[in-house]
Chain A
Amino acid sequence: DAGITQSPRYKITETGRQVTLMCHQTWSHSYMFWYRQDLGHGLRLIYYSAAADITDKGEVPDGYVVSRSKTENFPLTLESATRSQTSVYFCASSTPGQGKETQYFGPGTRLLVL
């Protein structure tokens, strides 16, 4: 049972480049989330998705794009990376309802933008 995986685990890129972070879950959870974690800010929600082809903005969506063509995948794209997007990115999934509001997190992607 692979659970939820993220790739790459580490990424170094340069300002202005496009970067895509991948997230894949094997549980068929309907909801998926992208967070960024920065010192002093905790976890902040970037985007989330309630189902395939349904996405919505979170707290800090600027500079990011998401898509969800398949239930199991939820890629996050930085269209033109900036130094302020240096962070650790976490993907999570959940199946709400029936008492299952718990979120399951991937291992994270550490992104450094030079």
Chain B
Amino acid sequence: NAGVTQTPKFRVLKTGQSMTLLCAQDMNHEYMYWYRQDPGMGLRLIHYSVGEGTTAKGEVPDGYNVSRLKKQNFLLGLESAAPSQTSVYFCASSSGIGGTGELFFGEGSRLTVL
């Protein structure tokens, strides 16, 4: 009964390094999302996907790339990490149009860029 699983849960990077956050869901959901959360900022949408092979930009996409090659996975990449990308990252999924609208969240990934 995994739901939405994010890996890794913690990571420390140096400025300029690259990394990939992996999100996997086992609920056969169509929609998947990546958010970042900073103190006092709520959740800000980075990128999202409404189906396998599709991606779209959210509010704060710069410095990030995503891929949805398989329906169950949504990858978030940082090509050249910057201190401004220090944040908690949440992945979420939903069944999409026609569903309840409820988002199911992963537990979050805390990224620190030095």
Bound pair (A, B): no
Q: Which B residues are closer than 8 A to A by beta carbons?
A: none
